[in-house]
Structures are given as C-alpha cells and as structure tokens.
C-alpha cells in the first residue's frame, strides 16, 4: 500500500439526501483536516428526484476534494458503490450512508485498522441502533442467516460504514443487491483479514428511510447466489453432478428393490405402490441435475473469465 497520493477515499451513495449533504461533507472535512489526511469524497447520486445533484455541484465548486457521479435513473446502492469504487484513488476506501446516521468521527480508527494494522476489510457494527423495531428484528434474523450460510462471522453485514484496502475494491464487482454481502464477496475473492468495529449509530436527521421489507427477500436470494457462485462458479459440475448422482442412486435403489420384491412373489403391480413413483421421480431428477451440471460446465469452460484468478504477488 505505497505510492498513494490520496490516503482516503470516502464513497457515499445517496438518493434524495439534499438536506444532509452540506452538513455531512463539512463534518468529513473537519475530521480530515484535524488528522491531516489527504482525501476525496465521492458522492454518487443514484437517480435523486430532489436537488441532491445541484447541492453536489455546489459542494464541488467550494471544495475540490468533493467529486460526484450522477445516474440517469435509480439503479440501486450496489451500482452506486461499484461506480464509486471505480473512481476511488485512495489508499483506504471508506463507505458510509448519506443520511448522517454514520459518523465521520469513525474515519481515523477505520483508516488505522486498514493502513496500519493491515486488515483487508473493516465492517462497522451498529451495536446500539436508533431504528424502529420493524427494521431491527428483521436485520438480526438476516445477519444470523448470513453468518450461518457464509461462514463470515460479522454481527452487522448491512452497516453502510465500512473500510477497505484499495486492492479489495479493485478486485471485486458489486451488482444487483449484493452491497450487503461485500464481506462475503471479499472472502471468496481471497481477502481473509475481515474484522468488525463497533461504530456509533445516530438517528436520522433529515428525510425518510429508504428501507423496505422486500429487501430481505431479495437479500436471501442474493446470498444463495453469492454462496453458489463463490463455491462452484468455476466447477458447477461438482455441485449439480454430485446432487444428480445421489438422486439417481436413490431412485435406482428404490426401483431395484421393487423389482426384486416383484420377482419374489409380490402379487400387486409395482405401479400401485407410491414408492414406485418416488423412485421414478428421483431417477429423472438425478438425470436432469447431472445434465444441468454438464451444460453449466460447458458454459463455464467457454467463459472468457474462466481463467481469471485473484493473484496477490508474482516473482518473475
């Protein structure tokens, strides 16, 4: 992590946050100046319908460290973060929400945990939250399920306040609604030094929350997708083939048992026994799973990214 002209890039996705932006950027500036950090603030306007972009333009004219990206329409937080990561040039990239619920006073400690202690990713943990119960309870269930499935032991995956080593954000792609799973994506990309820091959470000062219960349904599906792609993206036959062979074998054993039983004197037709249809179903399902794995393997082998791997160092 050498030869960086900018120490910290702060990436802030936003949607209709015109009221909070002047206060947030002024707060960030005070923290940066107090710690003598070189920095940039990248504000990503995710299709706001208020005056957010006009505010960003004004802030950029006042402070050359403030930069902006404007989407023509709302694409979502993942898209905003991905574009912000592309533009970021800092040694450490810090993300936070624009609603003033994340405190810029956390920046020095987050920077130290990456730049000095050598962690790859630091995820904030809002241990004490100022959110309604309709948001906190689903969040706890979501975090528990994510820990169990992904194996990444964090208490608050969806906290917007995170810090990253420059290499992390340049090595991963965030799309769809995957922003809440960046620690999981980073883990599958080979970045293992992932830690958590308790951070201050503040009540929303302006505007309304963008929270919707549908994000938990989409989030669960995204988690399944990330887990599968991370484990089997380059070897899909290992998943589909294994499941197919097991299913086919179970069905074959059922049908073999029924056949032997029939020849041993069972007087009723095999088709009158419900287990017969279970055997046929598992044989067909096993064949289809094996075929799906075979086709997925052909697609994977013809992918232009089939030999893209995360290389940390090379000696030639």
Digitized pLDDT (tens) for each residue of the chain, 316 residues in all: 457 889 999 999 999 999 999 999 999 999 999 999 999 999 999 999 999 999 999 999 999 999 999 999 998 898 999 999 999 999 999 999 998 989 999 999 999 999 999 999 999 988 776 666 666 677 777 778 778 877 788 888 888 899 999 999 998 888 777 888 889 888 888 898 999 999 987 766 666 655 555 565 666 666 677 667 666 766 778 888 889 999 999 999 999 988 888 788 776 777 778 888 999 999 999 999 989 888 877 876 676 655 554 555 556 5
Distance CA 249, CA 247 (A): 5
Res 57: pLDDT: 95
- What SS3 state is found at 47? coil
Distance CA 165, CA 188 (A): 15
Res 39: pLDDT: 96
* Residue 267 neighbours by CB under 8 Å, 6+ apart: none
Distance CA 186, CA 176 (A): 16
Report the run of H or E that residue 93 belongs to, with start and end.
Answer: strand 92-95
Q: What is the DSSP string of 9-22?
A: EEEEEESS-TTTHH
Half-sphere exposure of 298 (CA within 13 A, CB side): 5
- What SS3 state is found at 101? coil
Res 1: pLDDT: 45
Tell me the domain boundaries of the chain: 8-232, 236-301
In terms of Cβ atoms closer than 10 Å to its own Cβ (0-12, 13-18, 19+), residue 61 is exposed
Res 306: pLDDT: 54
Q: Is the dihedral of CA 41, 44, 48, 54 positive or negative?
A: positive
- What SS3 state is found at 198? strand
CB 251 within 8 A of CB 281: yes
In eight-state DSSP terms, residue 298 is H
CA-nearest of 236, 214, 224 to 150 is: 224
Q: Is the dihedral of CA 137, 182, 202, 59 positive or negative?
A: negative
- What SS3 state is found at 88? coil
Helix ranges (H only) for 199-312 are 214-232, 236-263, 274-301
The 194-198 sheet, strands edge to edge: 66-70, 39-45, 8-14, 92-95, 162-165, 121-125, 194-198
Res 112: pLDDT: 96
Helix ranges (H only) for 44-191 are 52-62, 77-87, 107-115, 133-150, 166-171, 182-188
Q: Which CATH number fits domain 8-232: 3.30.360.10, 3.90.550.10, 1.10.1040.10, 1.10.580.10?
A: 3.90.550.10
Res 17: pLDDT: 92
Distance CA 72, CA 46 (A): 8
The first and second tokens of residue 225, run together, are: 């997708």
């Amino acid at each position: 992590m050498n030869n960086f002209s900018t120490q910290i890039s702060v990436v802030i996705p936003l949607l209709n946050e015109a009221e909070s932006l002047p206060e947030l950027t002024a707060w960030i500036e005070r923290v940066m100046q107090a710690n003598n950090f070189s920095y940039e603030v990248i504000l990503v306007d995710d299709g706001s319908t208020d005056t957010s972009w006009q505010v960003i333009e004004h802030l950029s004219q006042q402070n050359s460290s403030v930069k902006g990206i404007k989407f023509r329409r709302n694409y979502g937080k993942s898209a905003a973060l991905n574009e912000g990561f592309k533009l970021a040039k800092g040694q450490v990239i810090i993300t936070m929400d624009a609603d003033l619920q994340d405190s810029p006073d956390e920046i020095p400690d987050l920077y130290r945990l990456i730049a000095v202690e050598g962690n790859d990713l630091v995820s904030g943990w809002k241990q004490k939250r100022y959110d309604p119960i309709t948001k906190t309870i689903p969040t706890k269930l979501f975090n528990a399920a994510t820990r169990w499935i992904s194996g990444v032991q964090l208490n608050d995956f969806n906290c917007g306040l995170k810090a990253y080593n420059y290499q992390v954000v340049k090595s991963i792609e965030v799309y769809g609604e995957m922003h809440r799973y960046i620690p999981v994506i980073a883990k599958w990309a080979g970045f293992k030094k992932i830690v958590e820091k308790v951070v201050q959470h503040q009540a929303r000062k302006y505007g309304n929350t963008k929270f919707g219960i549908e994000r938990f349904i989409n989030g669960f599906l995204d988690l399944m997708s990330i887990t599968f792609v991370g484990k089997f993206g380059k070897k899909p036959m290992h998943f589909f083939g294994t499941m197919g062979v097991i299913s086919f074998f179970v069905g074959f054993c059922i049908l073999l048992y029924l056949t032997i039983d029939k020849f041993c004197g069972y007087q009723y037709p095999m088709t009158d026994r419900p287990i017969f249809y279970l055997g046929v179903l598992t044989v067909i399902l096993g064949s289809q799973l094996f075929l799906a794995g075979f086709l997925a393997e052909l697609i994977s082998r013809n992918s232009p990214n089939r030999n893209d791997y995360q290389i940390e160092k090379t000696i030639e």
